[in-house]
C-alpha cells in the first residue's frame, strides 16, 4: 500500500461515513471506482476522498440516489457529456435554492414567535400585564 492509499477504516474515520455506507456507495454505483490491493481489500485515494465529499454534499442537500448514480455514470463515461452533467447539477441547485427559501420562511415564523415570547415575558414582569391567550398567540403566526 502506498502512502496515498487508505483502507476503508481510515476513510471511514476521515469522512465520518460508516464502512457500511462506503460499501453501499461502491455497490450502488455512486463511486467512480475504488482500487483494490492484491488481496482484494479496498484502497482509497485522495481523489476518492474528494469524490466522497462531493457526493456526501449532494446527498445532504437532497439529491436522490438515482441522480447521484447518474452523475457518477456520466463522470465515469468521460468527456462529451458535460452538458448533461451541468443540467443535472443546475436542476439540483434550483431544488436546493427552493428549500433554502422555504427554510428562511420557516425561520422567520420561529423568529416571530421568539419575539412574541420575549415581549410577553417582558410584559409579565410588570405587575399589571398578563400573557395572551392561546387564541391570541395563534393569531400572531404568519400564514
Give the pLDDT confidence of 38-48 residue by residue, as tens digits.
Answer: 999 999 999 99
- The whole-number mean pLDDT for each consecutive block of 10 residues of the chain, a chain of 143 residues, reads 79 97 95 93 96 97 97 97 98 98 96 93 66 60 57
The total of structural domains in the chain comes to 1
Domain membership flag for residue 95:
no
Q: For residue 87, give Cα distances in angstroms to 50, 71, 92, 116.
A: 21, 10, 9, 44
Q: For residue 33, give Cα distances in angstroms to 15, 17, 51, 71, 86.
A: 17, 17, 10, 14, 21
Q: Confirm if 28 and 66 have CB atoms less than 8 A apart.
A: no
User: What pLDDT, on a 0 to 100 scale, did the predictor assign at position 122?
Assistant: 85
Residue 103: all three cell numbers together: 427554510
CATH of the domain at 52: 1.10.1660.10
User: What pLDDT, on a 0 to 100 scale, did the predictor assign at position 63?
Assistant: 97
Give the pLDDT confidence of 57-86 residue by residue, as tens digits.
Answer: 999 999 999 999 999 999 999 999 999 999
Amino acid at each position: 500500500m502506498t502512502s496515498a492509499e487508505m483502507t476503508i477504516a481510515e476513510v471511514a474515520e476521515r469522512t465520518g461515513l460508516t464502512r457500511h455506507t462506503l460499501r453501499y456507495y461502491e455497490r450502488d454505483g455512486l463511486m467512480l471506482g475504488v482500487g483494490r490491493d492484491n488481496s482484494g481489500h479496498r484502497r482509497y485515494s485522495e481523489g476518492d476522498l474528494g469524490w466522497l465529499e462531493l457526493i456526501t454534499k449532494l446527498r445532504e442537500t437532497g439529491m436522490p440516489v438515482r441522480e447521484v448514480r447518474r452523475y457518477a455514470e456520466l463522470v465515469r463515461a468521460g468527456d462529451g457529456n458535460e452538458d448533461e452533467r451541468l443540467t443535472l447539477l443546475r436542476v439540483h441547485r434550483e431544488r436546493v435554492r427552493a428549500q433554502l427559501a422555504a427554510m428562511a420562511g420557516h425561520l422567520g415564523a420561529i423568529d416571530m414567535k421568539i419575539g412574541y415570547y420575549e415581549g410577553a415575558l417582558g410584559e409579565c414582569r410588570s405587575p399589571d400585564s398578563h400573557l395572551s391567550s392561546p387564541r391570541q398567540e395563534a393569531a400572531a403566526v404568519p400564514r
